[in-house]
Structure 1
Amino acid sequence: MIKYIIVDDEPLAHDLIEGFCDILPHLQLEHHCYDALEAMQFLNNNQVDLMFLDLNMPKLSGFDFLRTLSNPPKVIVTTAYKEFALDGYELDIADYLLKPFSFERLLKAVNKAIGDNSQSTTSNNSAEITNPSHAANKRFFVKGDKKYHQVDSEDILFIEAYGNYTKVYFKEEMIISHEKISYYESILDNQHFMRVHKSFIVALDKIKLIEGNRISINEHEIPIGQTYKSLVSKLYNS
């Protein structure tokens, strides 16, 4: 379960974020904070994995508050002021949502935040990753068939482009996702996944056989694109 808080001085913003997050399983709201000082007090006594943080608040701005935290949870900034986006990069925020934002945009931000394994641990994280070798075990949400499936990247066999959609293959099922293949290339760990064709990304540990211009994964045959041959060859020539 991913525990989160909302830090925003606008009640309508709380309603919007909570409503969107209620659609997603495994997201659990821990507290509504209406200014940074309230959030500071809550975080001193409670553990959370994710924080939705507004910037323009009374008493203490969102970024100034964030600078006071020695080991903050993952942060998704929510603000109406795009000119502050660059300031967030030095604070290692997970994503930056410009109000008003859609559910799909929030979903991408949540996927990015909970799938970010750049650090081996995160503060106050009840679902923390403690071993870098487990970096492939990212969880994220896939929209398909009007449902939102939480998946673990360790279970993915390969991904196939399907027009403006993608097919995400698992051992027992396939989900048609509403994202392009470039989206998955950006969020999946390149130590565990490789683009081998303009239309295919494969999980390296699921490869059974490489022969000629084909990769075998279970009963599936995946083509190797001409421009990707040299990259694939490094798997067995290194």
Structure 2
Amino acid sequence: MIRYLIIDDEPIAHRIIENYSENLPHLVKVGNCYNAFEAMKFLNENTVDLLFLDINMPKLSGFDFLKTLANPPKIIVTTAYKEFAIEGYELNISDYLLKPFSFERFIKAINKTIDAAQNKKSIFLLPITEKQANDGSFFLKGDKKLHQIHFQDLLFIEAYGHFTKVYLKDDMIISPQKISDFEKLLPTLDFLRIHKSFIVSKNKIKYIEGNRVLIDQHKIPIGQTYKEIINKFF
């Protein structure tokens, strides 16, 4: 679990980060601060793992605030000013997001921060169990919910940095489960890894064409090292 604090004088910036973070179940907001002095007080009273920090704030800038912290948490800078990036990295920030930033760029920053903060230790909270796999379904954390995933509804799984995208018939869930966990526990008679980033349901494949398979409307690449495995099954 990563506890984060937003420090920004613009309310809309808080809403954007909150909306993005709601899709990543291991991120938990612990507070909102609208200037550096509020943040100082908050950090004195609470434990925080990650700051989303704006630079241009009244009275005390984000970087001047950062210099006052003896043991700062991980920092992702969120700003409209690209000219301060070098100074930010000199202050050992994890990443520098230029507003407006996309959800994909946000996830990239979180992945980078996890690498630095956790040294690639597992942060995943709900491992798939053998019993769940044998029962034809498993429970998966995603979107701050606990989803029961039935094998027959599962189209394919895509690795997405430290996350996975789990594609279902009528839904897509972003989860902190590792793709390697799925590979170990999904039944090999029904599911096949065809790329370092993709596991597919065999009976959902419409056709194979060249180096791609079609599932629903999704064209999924076949990795070079997985071609022999594909040929054995089809």
TM-score, normalization by structure 2 = 0.59
- Hey, what does 2:121 align to over in structure 1? 137
- Hey, what does 2:211 align to over in structure 1? none
Structure 1 residue 176 corresponds to structure 2 residue 189 = no
**One-letter amino acid of the counterpart of residue 11, structure 2:** P
Q: Indicate the structure whose relative CO is greater, using CA pairs within 8 Å and at least 6 residues apart.
A: 2
Spell out the pairing of 1:40-119 with structure 2 (5 A cutoff).
Answer: 40-117=40-117
Structure 1 residue 32 corresponds to structure 2 residue 32 = yes
> What's the CA shift for 1:136?
4.5
Counterpart CA distance in 2 for 1:47 and 1:99 is 27
- Hey, what does 1:205 align to over in structure 2? none
Deviations 1:101-152 (A, max 9, x none): 01111111111112215xxxxxxxxxxx5xxxxx442443233423212035
Structure 1 residue 148 corresponds to structure 2 residue 174 = yes
Structure number with larger C-alpha Rg: 2
Pick closer, same or farther for the CA change 1:78–1:45 going to 2, 3 Å: same
**One-letter amino acid of the counterpart of residue 151, structure 1:** Q
Pick closer, same or farther for the CA change 1:199–1:113 going to 2, 3 Å: farther
**One-letter amino acid of the counterpart of residue 2, structure 2:** I
- Can you give the 5+ residue segments of structure 2 that lack an aligned partner in the other structure? 124-161, 187-192, 200-222, 230-234
SS at match of 2:25: coil
Please tell me whether the aligned partners of residues 114 and 120 of structure 2 are also in contact (alpha carbons under 8 angstroms). no
CA RMSD of aligned residues (A): 2.5
Counterpart CA distance in 2 for 1:86 and 1:114 is 21
- Can you give the 5+ residue segments of structure 1 that lack an aligned partner in the other structure? 118-128, 130-134, 158-168, 178-197, 201-219, 221-238
Counterpart CA distance in 1 for 2:63 and 2:4 is 18
Determine what percentage of the aligned residue pairs are the same residue: 55
Please tell me whether the aligned partners of residues 115 and 138 of structure 1 are also in contact (alpha carbons under 8 angstroms). no
- Hey, what does 1:21 align to over in structure 2? 21
TM-score, normalization by structure 1 = 0.58
Counterpart CA distance in 2 for 1:16 and 1:170 is 34
Deviations 1:205-237 (A, max 9, x none): xxxxxxxxxxxxxxx8xxxxxxxxxxxxxxxxx
